[in-house]
Structure 1
């Protein structure tokens, strides 16, 4: 008996883009855990999702530029496809009520089309460490004066070496009220391989010989298109 083709789902009638935050203890939520929590929230909120075709249909959701586990963020993004046209503000309220505190919806807008991932060209980070400010200032000066600073990190493909300096657009150190030491204001260009804020901390320690403290508090403040002025634009505009 010939196997039947899987049922075809109707195409989405609306796409929405969502900005959300990871705050407090929820910064330790992995991308996989968040995606599960978000799917449960969509189900509880009874949002009419569009589904993929095939033998195992799943809700049409696409994630872009997820922050590393352990870091907080005010600028995480995803896109959802719907089977009915809804008012974005209503979806905002439904999702925010269904998600646990610390995974907070900030904005929901209609998708203008195109690729959301392509609009996420750079990120701005604040990294609070216990390192004294004077030592952090010396580390920043030494790092920025270098043409290249190589670091190593274990990836899915094994141990990789890459240049952390090349991805850094701006870097400064100020006093940190959170940790009593220093706070780095960092703008990172997205690329392949992706340079993460903890890679920059590793590079700062390597060029200065000064440890950057334990358990740094890393918070993504923004991510989006990189404007000519060097500022990071709003990817939802």
Structure 2
């Protein structure tokens, strides 16, 4: 139990920030390109309570942490928040602007991953401090969760951000047909998760991203 509480303390802030800022970024981008739906719904906010999905933000990450602690191993932590409402028809140039609105979330995760990498580097520099190890563990968690969320959301599967980016880039005809997959996207994602295929896809990509961060920031 003590190990679980320690792990939860380390992961809580990185997870909340990663999920909250990802969703808020979609809302800011949508407003910039002409859609105020998220703003009017009060979802352009840095308040985590406005974005928390009880299952995706709390239950699923906690279960992963519990099972990982009990198994004395490590698991790929991920979760999700309530999607920010976007009316793509209200964007000034719906098909083109969809790309930037969709990309805003993963870009926010990329920025946070870089920020946590810098904090990890700081922890290395102050290694004699009593705060160095907790800071390093939290920064490592921050890099991990943001890498997972960024890469997961870039998978070309509607309604993930990567699927919307693909719809934006494809010609009108194929884009329309591809968008029809959206109702099946989440069941497909769950199938990939429970069969282990999702982990097989994300694992190497996350490892490569972490390796690049290590090279760039000398971690």
Instruction: Normalising by structure 2, report the TM-score.
Output: 0.31
Greater C-alpha Rg: 1
Instruction: Normalising by structure 1, report the TM-score.
Output: 0.30
